[in-house]
Amino acid sequence: MDQDSHCAAERELLEAVSRITTSSTTSPSDEEENQPKAEISCQVRKENPEKDDTQDSSATLSPNSSMTTKELQEYWRNEKRQCKQIKLLFEIPSTRIVEHHLSKYVMYKIIILQTGSFDSNKSVIERRYSDFEKLHRNLLEEFSEEMEDVTFPKKALTGNFTEEIINERKLAFKDYLRLLYSMKYIRRSKKFIDFLTRPELQEAYGCLRGGQYTKALEILLEVIGLQERLTRGNAVAIVPTLCAIVVCHKDLENPASAFEYGEKALSRLRVHSSHRYYIPLLETMITLAYELGKDFLSLQEKLEEWKTKKDPIRIFTLKELAVREYVR
């Protein structure tokens, strides 16, 4: 590339970065007016100063004429990635009718996709009409004002299993979930997150308590991705699930995989040493590190440091904590 072309490329990149930087300084009121209700990752960073501290330093560089073309390209990519729109889409492509003893009901297959990123993973769950009905009732109790204009498909006295009614409800429930997710306080609420994850987690922990570690692990690995998407910005929300995965891998004699997920959980607890999972997780990680021939001295130092600051109390093991989750 000759010098003129090189300079022209730099000028184009500078202009692109300038546009991104200008748009990121929009006033809060303008942002509220112009952005869709779906979550924006750069908004999450403002609400999470802790997360800001861990951002790559290259993302905080200010564009200037001394930056090389390669540096400007990297800066532009980081800015675009961090301000990318992130939201979940809900699809209900199919249903199935379940007949169980004296009961008969329709199960709606819900596919949850994430857009605005390169993540192509999807989560698939099933819920019945009564599950949606319970969610609506619970949300009305906590978010009466936000739910004022949200309509819910009423139960028909007859014809609930006709193709016409089922198709109408598929569309209605899809719009219902989309609308709930568009409201920030509702999509972050425990009741909404529980609706989408709790049945699967209850099944997984039931398998774990019964010693069915392979089945428990299979379910946990399916639900962890959805949990992460739903609890974005809440670092410790998925720690129990990560630790349950550690327990399953450890009991299935997969120490390397157990250690990998343990590191993910510990990274989320680095400023939450008072969390009930912190010490049991540290103790488990020390054992795993020793077994794998990894350096465990830093983990041991953290454990000793905690013990000098806290009064000695009975600490459950990681497995003991895990089997207590989702006990009815």
Helix axes 69-82, 3-24, angle to 10 degrees: 30
* Per-residue confidence band for 102, with pLDDT thresholds at 50, 70 and 90: confident
Q: Percent of the chain scored above 70 by pLDDT?
A: 71
**3-class secondary-structure state, position 43:** helix
What would the mean pLDDT of 168-181 be, rounded to a whole number?
96
- Which region among 80-94, 151-165, 168-182 has the lowest average model confidence (pLDDT)? 80-94
pLDDT for 163: 92
Instruction: Give the length of the chain.
Output: 328
- Name the DSSP letter for residue 60: G
| Dihedral of the alpha carbons of 226, 228, 233, 237, in degrees to the nearest 10 | 110
Whether the pLDDT of residue 35 is over 50: the answer is no
pLDDT tens digits along 64-87: 555 567 666 666 555 554 444 558
Structure tokens belonging to residue 292: 């794998």
pLDDT for 115: 78
pTM above 0.75, yes or no: no
